[in-house]
Structure 1
Amino acid sequence: MQFDWQFFWKSLFAPSDAFLKGLGLTIGISLVAMILAIVLGLVVALMRRSQYAVVRGCASVYIWVIRGTPLLVQLVIIYTGFAAVGIYQFNDASLLGLSVKAAVQAAIIGLMVNESAYIAEIIRAGLDSVPKGQFEAAASLGMTPGRLMRWIIVPQSLRVMVPPLGNSFNGMMKTTSVLSVIGVSEMFLVTQSISSATFHTFEIFIVAAIYYLALTTIWTFIQAWIENRLARQLGIEQRVPITSRLLGARRAAASATLQEEGAR
């Protein structure tokens, strides 16, 4: 069995319409699910900080259950389990002139629920990173909780939250390959279909891997731009270049800096 270079290059630079639709669906599901997950994660994080024990307990149980069960199991429960027991059945719907299939709706909900549990902890840690003295100072000045969060807490905590939130989105784009189990025609399922039809398994899956790598790389640049912009707004110098981030040299650079400071 020989590697079909002609098929490989054609699939890489002139992919089929089905592959491009799968790629677009992967990006679309990732974006919508991430936005919804941030909103839900913020709600859960605020519940974790509530003064009422019952509210804090509900948020803690939610995070414990979602983080403790596999996404694959959650997707099957949401899409087929709920319909089987009569709780809810997803049906094809039309939104803003676009036809959204039932499996896609379930996929977005599943990713949103799964990711929100992790994002809630990221947001909670970011909010906790702000010194409590600033809360007390704002309260003494008569600032409302809304203005406190908008002008003091959020700008400072964003710099702490953006890197892990960006990593979560990066992981979500790759995790969309799991959605094939409920029949979502994202990039991985389309790749499987092309492989079955052409018997060029090795070639087409390498093409898919390259496209996944391209998506995560593009997002790495976008994330770096966001972090650099936040750093400039806070007057902090960004010391690690984007090439170091891509090549995984960020930790090494940080270690070198610590060693240099220790030598002094």
Structure 2
Amino acid sequence: MTSASTAPAAPAFAPATDSTDDDVRAIPLRRPWRWVGAAVVLLFVAGFAYSVLTNPNIDFAAIGQFLTDPRIIDGVWLTLLITFIAMVVSTLLAIVIAAMRLSSNPVLSSVAWFYVWAFRGTPLLVQVVLWGYLGLLYEKLSIGIPFTDIVFWQVNTNELISAMVAGLLALTLNQAAYSSEIVRAGMISVDEGQREAAYSLGMSPLYTFRRVLLPQAMRVIIPPMGNETISMLKNTSLLSVIAVLEIYTQATMISSQNLKQVELLIVASIWYLIMTSILSIPQYYLERRYGRGSSRNLPPTPFQRLRAAFDKRRPGPEPASETKAVSAV
């Protein structure tokens, strides 16, 4: 009769060591002064907000009353209209001026340089006043043959150049000087090989500029042009010196009647903040559109973040039950 001796079975997997002498334990660096600084900033902001909200010299009822006043609303719409017209026309003019600056023709490049030098070198307020007083320089505007008395068309300057037209001319021509430099910077940022490749394919300089260089330069042009649009919106307040009835002029006229200067300034500031916030939305999506294809990853939009957060919280579908075959012996 034989007896079988059983030996203990060896473990299938050897236990892995948790750490070795070469491991580095990363300990987060404590920065208590960050929280102290944040607490000081929050305390300052809360104190400032409390001082404003409890200030007895501010009539908050008047602010709520004039925030939707029909005259203020008319000023808001006129401000948006002036901003839209001035930015569209100045952008088209800026493209032409930038092309002239980049041209090999010395006459075109010199004229474009002088234009930028003149309009960037003088204050916008001075230009607004000069266009408003254009009738003092030229009583009549005419079209004819230069250096002769032959005139085909003639009109009184004050009839043609109203306060609204003078304001648009001042804002448009001034903005075109700044925007042309932005466009030129975008053109220079495009690799020179793109131009050479387009010329080798027989494309004309104008077609190359319009179809090859400009679309690639938009990635550099859009961010500063968005800032210029917001600046244009706020610069419309300078037209109050020539009595254009934009929002700041309307607020000033109302405050001169009821002596609520601070309240009306707050009303105008609130509307400026609303309009600039609205204008920031298309700028954000235009930057994303022309940023496609770059090496950097585009951050998700606010709507994409909300959707991702909602998808995480939503319970997923239950796994399908698997049928197992049971075999009987």
TM-score over 0.5 (shorter chain): yes
Q: C-alpha deviations, 1:61-88, integer Å up to 9, x for none?
A: 11111000011111111121x2112164
Residue 186 (structure 2) aligns with? 126
Map of 1:16 onto structure 2: 69
Deviation per residue, 1:93-141 (Å, 9 max, x gap): xxxxxxxx81111111110010000011011111111111111111112
Provide, for residues 167-204 of structure 1, a one-character-per-residue CA deviation record: whole Å limited to 9, x for no partner. 10100000100000011010001000111111111111
Q: Structure 1 residues 71, 240: CA separation in 2 closer, same or farther (over 3 Å shift)?
A: farther
In 2, distance between residues paired with 1:194 and 1:237?
50
Please report the TM-score for the alignment, with normalisation by the length of structure 1: 0.82
Which residue is equivalent to 2:83? 30
- Give % identity: 37
How many residue pairs get matched? 232
Give the match for residue 168 of structure 1.
Answer: 228
Shift of 1:238: 2.1
Equivalent pair of 1:33/1:111 in contact (CA under 8 Å):
yes
Alignment pair present for 1:4 and 2:78 = no
- Across the aligned residues of Structure 1 and Structure 2, the Cα RMSD in angstroms comes to 2.1
TM-score, normalisation: structure 2 = 0.66
Higher helix share: 1
Distance 1:162 1:71 in 2: 23
What does residue 229 of structure 1 align with? 289
Cα distance change, pair 29–233 in 1 and its aligned pair in 2 (3 A): farther
- The alpha carbon displacement at 1:145 in A equals 3.0
Aligned to 2:271: 211
Gaps of 5+ in 1: 93-100, 243-264
The offset of 1:221, in angstroms, is 1.6
- Structure of higher RCO (CA pairs closer than 8 Å, 6+ residues apart): 1
One-letter amino acid of the counterpart of residue 221, structure 2: M
Determine whether 1:159 maps to 2:219: yes
In the other structure, the counterpart of 2:248 is 188
Matched-pair contact (CA < 8 Å) for 1:176–1:186: yes
Q: Distance in 2 between matches of 1:236 and 1:27?
A: 34
2:198 corresponding residue in structure 1: 138
Amino acid at match of 1:203: E
SS at 2:197 equivalent:
helix
Closer, same or farther in 2 for the Cα pair 1:167/1:25, shift >3 Å? same
Instruction: Flag the structure with larger Rg.
Output: 2
3-state SS, counterpart of residue 292 of structure 2: helix
Residue 113 of structure 2: aligned partner:
60
